[in-house]
Amino acid sequence: MWETWLLKPGELTLKGGNRKFFEGTLKSNIQRLMAKIDDKIKIRFTAGRYYIQAPQEKTMLVENALSHLIGISGWAKTASCEKTQKAVLDECIKEAKVLSLAGIKTFKVAARRTDKSFPLTSYELCCLAGNEINTATGLKVDINNPDDIINIEIRENAYIYSSGKKGLGGLPVGCAGKGMLLLSGGIDSPVAGFLMACRGMSIDAVHFHSYPYTSQEAKEKVIRLAQITGSYCMGINLYILNFTKVQMLIKKNAPENWITVLLRMAMMEAAQKTALKTKNKCLITGESLSQVASQTIENLNCTQNRITLPVLRPLIGFNKENIIKEAKAISTYEVSIEPFIDCCTLFTPPHPVLHGKVAEANAIYESLELEPLIDEALATYELVK
Ligand code: ATP
Ligand code: MG
């Protein structure tokens, strides 16, 4: 047996002249996700709705993919029937009986009619279906706080569905260029990547480790974070760079209170070089203003001053509580809090500079002559797709 899902696109309905491009991107993302599940799955886009038809036994996989799909505002498993009053009402009653068996007590009907030749208006259809369902099943109408909503959409066919799920919203991944995420093992950077993906950006990621000062487990944790984040981003290419030599040189030759800012400057430089090689248009970080000493406005300015690509910081105005809420929602939180040392926590100075001056930062940075070591790290990267 085959099942059908109806998907409602999100924001892209507002996109004017670019709408076709956005719709096409979303369709190809759906196709890519479904092809991984079963190459027999059919996808159709008609009059503002996407439809997926898949074998019933693939339900869990399809619904899991839809819960990770950016660009849709909602989705539901749907029944379809002829556009006659009788067929629609019969289908509504069938749907209501299933809900009743599941223990639902109250409902409301929401109708939408894009085919205006259907003889009833949406309002008339709601009233009629509400009454018929009530008579046939005993379920009560509750307009304000129903246990479930029975939806009727009169389009090229009639579609009837309940238990609609909220989608992630946003714009389809791939319609807003590609950005290089600086991915640490912490809570913030996966959320930053997810938020930019919700603005339509494809994501690559770069991670710096300092093996053997940081462990193999810390690296594997970042790979898992990239996999979870990538499940929303149509996949992520993760570039892993060994920064041990860069970090040791900074520790050996730089004033102790500057260590963290200088390491961040080196990371930005290496991330930019990786981004330029891989056609990424910007860098993305999980920085949030005043979260830690390296994220004062002066230190953020030092960190990015040698970089020409735009540096996007989607979390800049978030507090930690809200970042954690997002991280839990995308299931990266539990992995992020696993206790492995990141290279940033290695050699953290007890009294870091708080309001670094760009000229001083640059003078120290240049005196360290980090360039050859950064290039060496770039030449020996590991790529995890
Ligand atoms: P998170 O690391 O997720 O931000 P955090 O609070 O530990 O949590 P910081 O250590 O302050 O964050 O790092 C700020 C930002 O710098 C990170 O969000 C990330 O974008 C980048 N960053 C830090 N460490 C690394 C690393 N080892 N590899 C790649 N990027 C990093
Ligand atoms: Mg942080």
Which tens digits make up the pLDDT trace of 10-69? 887 666 778 889 999 999 999 999 999 999 999 999 988 999 999 999 999 999 999 999
Instruction: List CB contacts of 309: < 8 A, sequence separation 6 or more.
Output: 272, 275, 276, 280, 281, 282, 283
72 CA → ligand 2 middle, Å: 29
Q: Are residues 188 and 311 in the same domain?
A: yes
What letters, b where the CB count within 10 A reaches 16 and e where it falls short, cover 242-278? bbbebbebbeeebeeebbbbbbbbbbbbbbbbbbeee
Q: Are residues 152 and 283 in the same domain?
A: no
248 CA → ligand 2 middle, Å: 22
Instruction: List CB contacts of 210: < 8 A, sequence separation 6 or more.
Output: 242, 243, 244, 247, 343, 346
Closest ligand 1 atom number to CA of residue 343: 27
Residue 171 lies in a domain: no
Query: CATH no. for residue 373?
Result: 3.40.50.620
What pLDDT score does 344 carry?
Answer: 60
287 lines ligand 1 (CB under 6 A): yes
Residue 340 — very low, low, confident or very high, per pLDDT cuts 50/70/90?
Answer: confident
Note the pLDDT tens digit of each residue in 305-332.
999 999 999 999 999 999 999 999 999 9
337 lines ligand 1 (CB under 6 A): no
Q: Does residue 113 contact residue 154 with C-beta atoms inside 8 Å? A: yes
What letters, b where the CB count within 10 A reaches 16 and e where it falls short, cover 176-188? bebbbbbbbbbbb
182 lines ligand 1 (CB under 6 A): yes
**Last residue of a domain, which of 103, 131, 166?**
166
pTM: 0.93
Question: What is the count of structural domains for the chain?
Answer: 2
Instruction: List CB contacts of 334: < 8 A, sequence separation 6 or more.
Output: none
Residue 172 lies in a domain: no
Residue 331 lies in a domain: yes
Note the pLDDT tens digit of each residue in 96-145.
999 999 999 999 999 999 988 999 999 999 999 999 999 999 999 999 99
Query: CATH no. for residue 135?
Result: 3.30.2130.30
CB atoms < 10 A from the CB of 68, how many? Answer: 17
Residue 349 — very low, low, confident or very high, per pLDDT cuts 50/70/90?
Answer: confident
The DSSP secondary-structure symbol of 295 reads G
Residue 368 lies in a domain: yes
**Last residue of a domain, which of 113, 145, 166?**
166
265 membership: H or E segment, kind and range: helix 259-277
Q: From the CA of 286, which ligand is nearest?
A: 1
**Last residue of a domain, which of 166, 194, 216?**
166
Closest by CA to 83, choosing from 114, 45, 47, is 114
Q: Are residues 214 and 353 in the same domain?
A: yes
272: left (phi over 0), alpha (psi -120 to 50) or beta: alpha
184 lines ligand 1 (CB under 6 A): yes
Q: Are residues 107 and 249 in the same domain?
A: no
User: Two tokens at 185?
Assistant: 């093992």
Q: Are residues 140 and 234 in the same domain?
A: no
Residue 274 lies in a domain: yes
Q: Are residues 145 and 272 in the same domain?
A: no
Residue corresponding to tokens 């200088």: 262
Q: 371-379 and 244-253 are packed helices; what angle lies between their axes, rounded to 10 degrees?
A: 160
Residue 277 — very low, low, confident or very high, per pLDDT cuts 50/70/90?
Answer: very high
Q: Are residues 286 and 360 in the same domain?
A: yes
Residue 268 lies in a domain: yes
240: left (phi over 0), alpha (psi -120 to 50) or beta: beta
User: C-alpha distances in angstroms, 70 versus 25, 60, 64, 369?
Assistant: 11, 18, 12, 43
203 CA → ligand 2 middle, Å: 19
Structural domain span for residue 291: 178-384
375 CA → ligand 1 middle, Å: 21
Backbone angles phi, psi at 81, to 5 degrees: -155, 180
Q: Are residues 186 and 135 in the same domain?
A: no
Q: Are residues 131 and 247 in the same domain?
A: no
Note the pLDDT tens digit of each residue in 134-182.
999 999 999 999 999 999 999 999 999 999 999 999 999 999 999 999 9
The DSSP secondary-structure symbol of 216 reads H
Residue 19 lies in a domain: yes
Closest by CA to 25, choosing from 61, 69, 58, 64, is 69
CA atoms in the 13 A half-sphere facing the CB of 4: 16
Q: Does residue 2 contact residue 53 with C-beta atoms inside 8 Å? A: yes
Q: Are residues 128 and 236 in the same domain?
A: no
CB atoms < 10 A from the CB of 224, how many? Answer: 14
Residue 286, classed as helix, strand or coil, is coil
Protein residue closest via CA to atom 24 of ligand 1: 184
Residue 238 lies in a domain: yes
Q: Are residues 153 and 182 in the same domain?
A: no
Q: Are residues 244 and 265 in the same domain?
A: yes
